[in-house]
Amino acid sequence: MAVTLAQQASKSFEGGDFSRASEFYLAAWRTDPKPDFLFGAARSAQLGALNDKATELFQQFLATDGADPVRQTRAKEYLAELERAKVQSRVAEAERTQRDDPKVAAGLYLDAFKQAPTRFDLLFKAAVAEQSAHDVASAERLLRAYLAKAPADAPDRNQAQARLDSMTRKAKEDAEPKPEPKPVIQAVALPTPKVVAGATLPRTDALATVQKPAEMDKPRWPGWAMVGGGATLAIVGLAIYAATTPDISAYDKARREVDANGKIIGLSAAEAQAQASSINTRVGVAWALTGVGVAAAGVGTWWLLTTPPKSVTVIPGPGLTGVGVAVRF
């Protein structure tokens, strides 16, 4: 039975179906526990990229009594290859992850270092990943561990020392209190007035007129016109309303005169409609004139408030001891 299974395993192995070959070798070993069957199952699993299974079977083979010494040596070599492949797989995964999640990448580098404790470069890579993740404490700890374990001629040693020195210096600078900035006072030299002996100021009785800037010299008459016109319209509107008030009272009184059946006797339907139309028209005109007048007066007032006088006249005082200012509206 075991021989038949071994033959099937050998046939699958030669055909490149390593996973199936490994299963046949294991079945043959369970039937007849020969170390060679176990070695064949481990090697087939390795070639079939079943690294964890291959590692376990090789270790079990090396612990078996009576194994062929030559195959024991080869099993150790294959185990070393599997460990290197496993480490390289972790390193490749860390390199793919480092850009998006450097913290996870640092953990993968450390896992790989545990499997290959002589790969000190993995400690340095983990430190760089921690620094990229802004975990300064972890990065500093890993850099110190790398510098303590790596040989003096390690290729990353100088860069590791430079990174550590930079982090230490920055931490020291951050811990120092920052001095308050002092105000900068600049001396400004004032021009010295020149005094000419015997000079006198010219006396003039003329009026000196100082003109306002052109953009401020707007005419003020439109403001006065709008205020006056607006006030006139408002007064006319109020007068129309006042004149209409007696008609409104008479209309309301006539509408209240009814007979025993509740019918209006003071006005006919046509008269009531005509009076109501007349009253509504006059009241509408009155309020319209009043509203337009108030608005025009408001705009005119705003115009006057925002328009300065056209000019300012400066009048010298007697003996040039003072001045008078005249503002023209």
Q: Where are the domains positioned within the chain?
A: 2-86, 98-169, 221-307
d(CA 29, CA 40): 9
Q: Which residues lie below 8 Å from residue 102, measured CB to CB, with a gap of 6+?
A: 129, 130, 132, 133
The pLDDT score that the predictor gives to residue 58 is 94
Evaluate whether 146 touches 130 at the Cβ level (below 8 Å). Answer: no
d(CA 61, CA 54): 10
The pLDDT score that the predictor gives to residue 302 is 83
pLDDT digits (tens, 9 = 90+) for 188-197: 666 666 655 5
Task: Give φ, ψ of 264 to 5 degrees.
Answer: -70, 130
The pLDDT score that the predictor gives to residue 67 is 86
d(CA 114, CA 154): 19
d(CA 136, CA 143): 10
Evaluate whether 156 touches 124 at the Cβ level (below 8 Å). Answer: yes
The pLDDT score that the predictor gives to residue 25 is 93
d(CA 154, CA 160): 10
The pLDDT score that the predictor gives to residue 262 is 63
Residue ranges in the chain whose pLDDT is less than 70: 187-217, 258-267, 308-329
- 3-state secondary structure at position 149: helix
Q: How many CB atoms lie within 10 A of CB 259?
A: 8
The pLDDT score that the predictor gives to residue 196 is 58
- Contacts from 212-218 at CB under 8 Å and sequence distance 24+? 212/308, 212/309, 212/310, 212/311, 212/312, 216/308, 217/310, 217/311, 218/307
Residue 261: which H helix or E strand, with range? none
Facing residues of 210 across strands?
A: 312
Tokens 């075991």 belong to: 2
Identical fold for domains 2-86 and 98-169, yes or no, is yes
| Domain covering 98-169: architecture | Alpha Horseshoe (1.25)
The pLDDT score that the predictor gives to residue 19 is 95
Evaluate whether 259 touches 251 at the Cβ level (below 8 Å). Answer: no
| Tokens of residue 321, six digits | 């001891």
Stated pTM of the model: 0.45
| Tokens of residue 317, six digits | 């005082």
| Tokens of residue 53, six digits | 């299974």
Considering the domain 2-86 in this protein, what is its CATH number? Answer: 1.25.40.10
Tokens 């993740």 belong to: 133
